[in-house]
Amino acid sequence: MLSLCFCFLVAKKSNSESAPQQSKVIVVKNGVQWTETRATGTLNTNNHMVAISITQDTETFTFIFPKPIDTDVQKKFEAYSLIVPAIGMASISDSYHLDTSKSNSLTILAFDYITNRLVGKFQLNLKQDDSYVDGTAKSSVFEGEFDMKFDEQAL
């Protein structure tokens, strides 16, 4: 009887291990957590850059960095946010880019190039692009973490 239970438990564990893991992203903008509507990760095989984009309603927040070769704080990265007037529109109503005058961090905690997964955390300061400033430029702080499955594409 004990053998049967053991075999059943092993079979159960094996089934759960084969289930695909979903990507998980947490984004907090200016202290308010986003309810993610879509998150995508892409590794451009031509230039070895990783792009992670998260969209909530009419805003898409993206950060781009070189394919990591170790777990550490990334030294080179870009970030921006685009806002459209309504969902599905092609025009941009507001745009923000990385504010390099402030402290920004992007840390890769783990990666697996066999399963195409990246795990990390970020705190990024973005400021409103000059062409959209109406008076004083606005700024936003994006913080969060990600456990992303990414697709490889030659872009």
Residue 90, pLDDT score: 83
Residue 143, pLDDT score: 97
How far is it, in rounded angstroms, from Cα 37 to Cα 48? 26
Residue 137, pLDDT score: 82
Instruction: Look at 22-36, 38-52, 103-117 and tell me which has the smallest mean pLDDT.
Output: 22-36
How far is it, in rounded angstroms, from Cα 55 to Cα 154? 23
- pLDDT of residue 5 exceeding 90, the answer is no
Q: Between 69 and 10, where is the model more confident? A: 69
CA-CA distances (angstroms) from residue 144 to 21, 52, 91? 19, 12, 27
- pLDDT of residue 6 exceeding 80, the answer is no
Q: What is the token pair recorded at 129?
A: 């692009």
pLDDT in tens, 70-112: 899 999 999 999 999 988 888 899 999 999 999 999 999 999 9
How many Å separate Cα 70 from the centre of its chain? 18
How far is it, in rounded angstroms, from Cα 97 to Cα 120? 20
The answer to whether 117 touches 150, Cβ cutoff 8 Å, is yes
- For 113-125, what is the HEC assignment? CCCCEEEEEEEEE
How far is it, in rounded angstroms, from Cα 11 to Cα 22? 22
